[in-house]
Amino acid sequence: MNLSRSKTQFLAVCVALLVVCAIAGYAQSGRKQPKAPPAAPVPTPTPEPTPEPKKNDKKSELGFIIAANRYTSIDSYPFTYFDAVMAGCAGRLRSGSSATVTVAQDDMNRGAAIKKAKAETTTTYIVLFELKLDYMARSYDDLVAEFTVFAPQTAKVVVFGTAYQNVNRRGPVVVGPNSRGSSGGLRREQLLKYVGEDAGDRILKALNLNVPILH
């Protein structure tokens, strides 16, 4: 009798445990499971821009300012004569070096050229031209170009000389026969341009700049 009752009680306890487990499992399944946080986005690497080739914008530190003293004596010459000499010199300095060449438009005497040279903060030389009639001159065929080059900051004279257009004089340049019968302005300007080119060559040589430049 007691054994039968013990079995009955044991079965009742087991059933109760099963019921409790079932209720707990149902309650657990009814709860909303918290959603997992979204995965952090993987950063996409930003492509680095292709570096552009650096442009060499830096100008040459070497330079020349070419000027003329148009009022050196009682004689006056056409301004185009001075322009021709300065143009010839400027062209030769540009083609024979990497220098920056500027042709001054205003008149410049020796004192102004010295002042300009002392005020320079870069390696810029001042080239000053003066036109004169050579000794015993009989026409503009004997017109010569005297040039002086002043160093920057010190205004020291580093180059000076005279360029001639007359083959009968002792100048270092020959521009053709001395035809006194042809004295047209255009011909004279062309001759004076050659004189300026000769002066430019001599300046480059004196400053050790007479090296071919590949442009």
Determine the pLDDT at residue 121.
92
Q: State the pLDDT at residue 151.
A: 97
Residue 196 to residues 16, 131, 207, 213, Cα–Cα distance (Å): 124, 11, 17, 20
Q: How crowded is residue 178: how many other Cβ atoms within 10 Å of its Cβ?
A: 15
71-100 pLDDT, tens per residue? 876 668 899 999 999 999 999 999 999 999
What domains does the chain contain, in order, with CATH numbers?
62-206 (3.40.50)
Find residue 163's DSSP bridge partners: 145
Alpha helical stretches, state H, 47-109: 79-96
pLDDT of residue 143: 87
CA 59 vs CA 55, 98, 100, 101, 123: distances in Å: 11, 9, 8, 11, 12
Which residue, among 144, 112, 142, has the nearest Cα to 128 in the 3D structure? Answer: 112
The span from the CA of 103 to the CA of 126, in Å, is 10
Read off the tokens for 11: 């079965």
Q: Are 117 and 125 in contact (CB under 8 A)?
A: yes
What φ, ψ does residue 86 adopt, rounded to 5°? -65, -35
Q: Strands 157-163 and 143-150, how do they pair?
A: antiparallel
* 174 residue type, one letter: V
pLDDT at residue 195 in the model = 95
| Sign of the dihedral through C-alpha 199, 65, 158, 156 | positive
Strand, coil or helix: 48: coil
User: What pLDDT does residue 40 have?
Assistant: 64
> In the prediction, which pLDDT does 100 show?
95
Q: What is the pLDDT of residue 134?
A: 75
**215 residues of the chain, pLDDT tens digit each:** 555 666 676 667 666 767 666 666 655 555 555 566 666 666 666 666 666 655 444 456 899 999 999 987 666 889 999 999 999 999 999 999 999 999 999 999 999 999 999 999 999 999 999 999 877 767 777 889 999 999 999 999 999 999 988 644 444 443 444 444 445 678 889 999 999 999 999 999 999 986 554 44
pLDDT of 165: 82
